[in-house]
Amino acid sequence: MLHDAGYRTCAAGKWQLGGGDASIHGFGFDRYRVFEPFDVADESETNMRRYKNPSLYENGAYLPESYTNGKYADDLLTDYIFNFIDSNLSSPFFVYFSLSLCHKPFSPTPDDPAFSTWDPLSDKSDATFYPSMVKYMDKKVKQVVDKINASGLSNNTIIIFLGDNGTPHEINSQFQNTSIKGGKNTTTVYGTNVPLIVSWPGTIPAQQVSGSLIDATDFLPTLAEAAGITKPANYGTLDGISFYPLLFGEKKRLRDWIYCYWHPEYQANFFKVWTQDENYKLYDSTNNHAFYNISTDPLELNAIPVSELTEAEQARKKTFDSVLKAMH
79 and 219 co-located in one domain: yes
Give a yes or no: residue 3 inside a domain.
no
pLDDT averaged over every residue in the chain? 94
Task: Kindly state the DSSP code that residue 223 receives in the 8-state scheme.
Answer: H
Q: Which of 201, 224, 252 is the last residue of a domain?
A: 252
308 and 260 co-located in one domain: yes
174 and 105 co-located in one domain: yes
60 and 123 co-located in one domain: yes
For 177-210, what is each residue's pLDDT tens digit? 889 899 998 999 999 999 999 999 999 999 999 9
Q: Identify the sign of the CA torsion 104, 22, 241, 228.
A: positive
- CA 74, CA 97: separation in Å to the nearest integer? 10
CATH number at residue 162: 3.40.720.10
Which of 3, 52, 5 shows the shortest CA–CA distance to 26?
Answer: 3
Give a yes or no: residue 310 inside a domain.
yes
Give a yes or no: residue 199 inside a domain.
yes
Residue 19 falls in which region: left (phi positive, over 0), alpha (psi -120 to 50) or beta: left
Strand, coil or helix: 147: helix
The residue segments making up the domain with residue 275 are: 256-328
Higher pLDDT, 176 or 144: 144
Count of domains forming the chain:
2
Single-letter residue type at 63: L
Q: Give ∠ CA 47-53-59 in degrees, rounded to 5.
A: 85
Q: Is the pLDDT of residue 38 over 90?
A: yes
Give a yes or no: residue 313 inside a domain.
yes
* Percent of the chain scoring above 90 in pLDDT: 87
For 58-85, what is each residue's pLDDT tens digit? 999 999 999 999 999 999 999 999 999 9
Cα distances from 302 to residues 192, 205, 252, 274, 281, in angstroms, run 19, 40, 31, 16, 12
The pLDDT value given to residue 165: 87
* Percent of the chain scoring above 70 in pLDDT: 99
For 229-260, what is each residue's pLDDT tens digit? 999 999 999 999 999 999 999 888 999 999 99
Residues facing 196 on adjacent strands: 162
Q: Is the pLDDT of residue 280 over 80?
A: yes
Q: Which of 202, 224, 252 is the last residue of a domain?
A: 252
230 and 323 co-located in one domain: no
For 133-144, what is each residue's pLDDT tens digit? 999 999 999 999
The pLDDT value given to residue 290: 97
**HEC secondary structure over 55-96:** CCEECCEECCHHHHCCCEHHHHHHHHHHHHHHCCCCCCEEEE
Q: What is the pTM of this model?
A: 0.93
Q: Which of 252, 281, 302 is the last residue of a domain?
A: 252
Backbone phi and psi for residue 261, each to the nearest 5 degrees, phi listed first: -120, 110
Q: Is the pLDDT of residue 266 over 80?
A: no
